[in-house]
Chain A
Amino acid sequence: MDFITPPYLTQNVSVRRVMLQVLAALIPGIAAYAWLLGPAVLMQIAIATATALLAEAAMLKLQDKPLGPFLGDGSAIVTAWLIALAFPPLAPWWLIVVGTAFAIVVAKHLYGGLGQNPFNPAMIAFAVCIVSFPALMSQWPPINAQANFVDQLALVFGQSPRLDALSGATPLDALKTALKLGEGSTSVATVTADAAVFGRIAGHGWEWVAAGYLLGGIWLWGRKVIGWHVSMSFLAGMTLISGALWLWNPAHFANPLFHLFSGGSMLGAFFIVTDPVSGCTTPRGKLIFGFSAGLLAYLIRVFGGYPDGVAFAVLLLNLCVPIIDLYTQPPIFGMKK
């Protein structure tokens, strides 16, 4: 007789199932990405996944933990995919290897492994790489001049010189730079009129990628894999600050929609701030976490020196999680005012 402790029944759920659903939800965004910006991102995903699994296996081996259940739980793959999606798609292969390995080995396992890491490993990878290799991390492919797969591969594997083909920036960065160079003589409307870089609401092409993430996020919410609290408050935080500044000076600040569909906003809202391990657990805590992260991400991306602010905002908030959780414990049954 197997030893079972009550309850004898359990729901058909597992960490693996949760992670597989997260991966599935990323697919619309990835599809749009590969379609509109070239298939290099698929290559990056493959490299990151392989690195993550190898690093995970090595760390498990070192700690004498069983490989099967832990490798199979899919958490390392989720981290890998998020890193691949956050990094520039034409970054050299070793960059993503370094980033992913760092995320798994340091950010995850040195902190105790699955469930123990205080920081979001994918965001750690991004932050570490952008600080260490700022130039490489800022080379985005120009959207209009789409290279074919072979050319992209050659770039990723360092077979062709990293030309000005790579001097492109993200639309977010392009806007920021243009506004800065314009010194007041130009306006958001003028800059974003450039149809080569900007689309209907945000970056040309990129806005569709963001829409893909949004779609996946809504699906995850519908499946009850994620709650609404943290995602919605993240988007609300970003909308509020961007909306306020935009209303105040529309020539200098892009509208909220532009920000919601640019950079890491949608990916962050549904796949990054929703990470349960490094996030808040109480309902009110989640609202505070999401809102502050959205606000901070905007401030860093608009006023800071980095092209986007989601990673730093999330890491900063990760730091505050214990204290937020402590002060937002909900009242229990029978103890409400």
Chain B
Amino acid sequence: MLQRLFKFKGGVKPATNKAPSVQAPIRIAPIPPRLVVPLHQSIGGQPTPLVEVGDRVLKGQRIGAADKWVSAAVHAPTSGTVIAVEERVAAHPSGLPTLSVVIETDGQDAWIERHSFDHASLEPERVREILRDSGVVGLGGAVFPSHVKLTPAASVPMDELVINGAECEPFMTCDDLLMRERAEGIVRGVAIFRDLLRPKRVLIGIEDNKPEAVAAMQAAVEALGENFEVVAVPTRYPAGGAKQLIRVLTGKEVPASKRSPEMGVQCFNVATAYSAWRAIAFGEPVISRIVTLTGNVEQPGNWEILLGTPMQEVIALAGPKADTNRFVMGGPMMGFDLPDLSAPVVKATNCIIAGSPALFPPPAPEMPCIRCGACALACPHELQPFELYWFSRSRNFGKAQEYNLFDCIECGCCSYVCPSHIPLVQYFRFAKSEIWSRERDKNMADAAKARFEFRNERDEREKAEKAERLAKAAAAKAAEKKPAPAETPPAPAEAPAPQTVDAEAAKKAAIAAAMERARLQREAAQPKNTDGLTIAQRKEIAEIEKRRAPLQAQQQTTPNADAAQTQNSQKDQQ
């Protein structure tokens, strides 16, 4: 069947640099002496720890339980002993610590008892639960819990299931190798998704610079007798963005305000499908992932690495060259500098690039915008980045939102083409985080107002009580002087009323105060942004990132998790 392809506007074609890391097959990384497994590895809730210091854990044992629907479990990647449950630095641009389980490995790699399931005989709800409890999340980098995305919209029929094997980021080849070597597992995983979503068609999109992967997937689809369509899509960054791939394969444009099932389409990454199949068919939770190690290294390639393996041990596998001056996690377009090499590999770690001044030269000095419009032509979301830049820079955040700031997926195409070398994406991140923090400040102001009103009320009440006491005293005096009862003093019958109000108000106040304390504590962990607009300062960026993470998480833990999902599915190839 001939697949008609659609185009998305914009996009760029950086050199792909994929060849060095596809020469060798996937290698299995050794078990490190210690694993640091962060509990919070996916979008959504913070899994609660299930183990204590001193516990012996087996490979695949759940160590963090999903605390709500939008959340995913975390497991011990190998057997060993828990030596700490504490805050450890995370693989995040902020370098902030996050609650992690530290396991001293015993080298036995002893599995917990595993159960395989026949998903066809299970209730769909049960399958979703298994996926959640196996920690299956989007492995393209967005780490959104997959089970949440596996519920079709009630009113819209599911037309297409899109499987993302595009892998458009330069340097990155983990999905490519996975498709070459484990195509059958992927296709079986896709079949599970298909059975849950019941789409009319299943489309597997792979950039046409990966002919081996296309062939392997096609062969696997045929071998398994499925009717999935494997489609080679033109190589153009960001063809692997979920929205872009959906557009290319189905012609549908999912706006930022909608989630894709509302338009009858859903998208998963190939590695996610593979891990779902391992979870259902073998009872193996997500405890490792394929990571591309490439860039300025002696031995570029792909490794299957246990989650929790510290970065320095991972990097040693590839042997960074002497002039390496940075390690980037993710691709060169959307990745970030690892702030600390003791941070562990997590579910979101798809690629680590050793950078050198030759590979990633320092940016040329920033010049003024000449309104050339190159950024607008490159923007896959058809925004006007220079207008956004202008408004972000002048802190005209209202206008920035009018010009659809929040539709920006931070893909970096605009910065890539800008002849004035303006770090546009940084400005947009800055503006977004400012807007988020203003919203939070507003919420805080509302709370402060409530406190203020309560205090006023209390003062009023105290005044009234004082007046009453004085009046009583005066009346008593008067009574002494004049035994005969004069006009009755203020009716004591009214007194109880303020008292009930008082109790209620006190309760409210206590709650408000507790909330406030909690908020202040949270605040303390997130220092305020400075006022300077010099975005190109590491410190400030770090602060922005720090803020973004909890805020995003907060947003995503709201009951309306779907909105969060939309937001995240844009982020990258799920």
Contacts and interface: CB of A to CB of B under 8 A. Distances in A.
Question: A and B: real partners?
Answer: yes
Nearest to B376: A281
B538 A9 contact: no
B170 interface: yes
Interface residues of A, number: 39
Given A3-B538, A14-B421, A277 B370 contact: yes
A276 B373 contact: yes
B333 A9 contact: yes
A7 to B, nearest CB: 4
A9 B14 contact: yes
A21 B229 CA distance: 45
B427 to A, nearest CB: 10
A282 interface: yes
B45 interface: no
Nearest to A69: B365
B417 A4 contact: no
A336 B537 CA distance: 38
Given A9-B360, A333-B382, A281 B416 contact: no
A185 interface: no
A334 B243 contact: yes
Interface string B380-416: 1111101100000000000000011001000010011
Given A8-B335, A115-B368, A281-B376, A333 B360 contact: no
B336 interface: yes
A8 B360 contact: yes
Contacts of A73: 367
A332 B382 contact: yes
A7 B168 CA distance: 14
A335 interface: yes
Contacts of A14: 364, 367, 419-421
A3 B333 CA distance: 15
Interface in B1-25: 8-9, 12, 14-15
Interface in B351-386: 355, 357, 360, 362-365, 367-374, 376, 380-384, 386
B426 interface: yes
A69 B8 CA distance: 35
Contacts of A281: 371, 373, 376, 384, 386-387
Helix, strand, loop or mixed for chain A's interface? loop
B362 A115 contact: no
B541 interface: yes
Nearest to A227: B373
B508 to A, nearest CB: 43
Interface in A1-57: 1-11, 13-15, 17-18
A113 interface: yes
B423 interface: yes
Nearest to B386: A281
Nearest to B407: A332
Interface string A94-130: 0000000000000000000111100000000000000
B328 interface: yes
A10 B373 contact: no
Contacts of A115: 367-371, 420
A5 B419 contact: no
10 contacts: A2-B357, A5-B541, A7-B333, A7-B412, A14-B419, A281-B376, A329-B384, A330-B384, A331-B382, A332-B382
Interface of A: 1-11, 13-15, 17-18, 66, 69-70, 73, 75, 113-116, 227, 276-277, 279, 281-282, 329-336
Given A66-B365, A69-B365, A115-B371, 16 more contacts: A1-B326, A4-B326, A6-B333, A6-B335, A6-B425, A7-B333, A8-B335, A8-B355, A11-B416, A73-B367, A115-B368, A329-B384, A329-B403, A333-B9, A333-B243, A333-B255
